[in-house]
Structure 1
Amino acid sequence: MKRSLILFSAAATLVFSSAAFAQTAPVKKMDGILVNSAGMTVYTFDKDVADSGKSTCNGPCAANWPPVAAGDAKLSPPYSVVTRDDGSKQVAYKGKPLYLFAADTKVGDRTGDKVKDVWHVVKD
């Protein structure tokens, strides 16, 4: 009985510690658009050049349009990672960096779509 309890305890520890290290994908598809892991709408910026490997939205721009952080995520095409001017990693879709909009406050908000005709919801 004691040996069974020890084996069960070891197996449970392995399962729970593996779950703790599991990563949440930084973006997913929901209702025909891309959203971040919290379900917030994701946008692209027309001034970013696809496959350039960088974002043109920095400083005050990034305060209004926070980058979708890539962290250490391992991404497969059509997703990739760009390195921002500050060295942080940002998720890109089809080579274009992805952003959130600070004015979106709840899941389903899309208030950033077509702002100044250069910000767009990512439709898939």
Structure 2
Amino acid sequence: MRAMKATAAGVLMMGALAACGGNDAGSAATTTGTASGGAATLCTSSTALGTVVVDGSGRTVYVFDKDANGTTTSACTGACVSLWPAVTTSGQPTVSGVSGTVGTIKTADGKQQVTLNGRPLYYYAKDTSAGATAGQGVKGVWWVLNAAGAKVTATPSASGAY
């Protein structure tokens, strides 16, 4: 039994690494953080903002300043949700290269929204490819995260490389 659990854990970790392996800012994102209806994967990717947290498809994730640490509900409601959809999962999220504390909260429609260090995670609808960070600093309240789960407040370099 112990050997089966160890094997299952290894398979899960390999899946997480495969989902995050090879992400670069030039690859196209084709899925959300929940692969095939399973658990979301959080990992890191190099961007113009430095190394930031992304999902298993390389899509950048963000936090919202109006969400307090440890919140049990998202402050992004109504029209906000269409521009900033929640990163959701149907199982325990997996991580690779992310050292912050990962958890979940319930969304208004009953889904599980992924959290990092007690803050809900979101996508930016205008990020059109993996590694895109167009949501960084929007209205001074939306931010990417570093591997430890701390918000990054820098802006991309003037080269426009994002």
If the length of structure 1 is used for normalisation, what is the TM-score?
A: 0.76
- Alpha-carbon distance change, 30 to 87 in structure 1, aligned in 2, over 3 angstroms: same
Which structure would you say has the larger Rg? 1
Aligned residue for 1:63, secondary structure, equals helix
Identity %: 33
Which amino acid letter does the alignment assign opposite residue 47 of structure 1? K
8 Å CA contact 1:75–1:81 kept in 2: the answer is no
Deviation at 1:73, TM superposition (A): 2.1
In the alignment, the residues of structure 2 paired with residue 61 and residue 112 of structure 1 have an alpha-carbon distance, to the nearest angstrom, of 13
User: What does 1:1-124 align with in structure 2 at a 5 Å threshold?
Assistant: 25-31=40-46, 32-74=51-93, 78-124=101-147
CA RMSD of aligned residues (A): 2.1
Residue 73 of structure 1: SS of its match in structure 2?
coil
Structure that is richer in helix per residue: 1
Q: Deviations over 1:91-113 (max 9, x none)?
A: 00000000000000001210000
For residues 74 and 65 of structure 1, do their structure 2 counterparts lie closer, same or farther at Cα, with a shift above 3 Å needed?
A: closer
Number of residues of Structure 1 aligned to a counterpart in Structure 2: 105
Q: State the TM-score, normalized to the length of structure 2.
A: 0.59
Deviations 1:6-64 (A, max 9, x none): xxxxxxxxxxxx89xx7554311222110011101110000001112221112211110
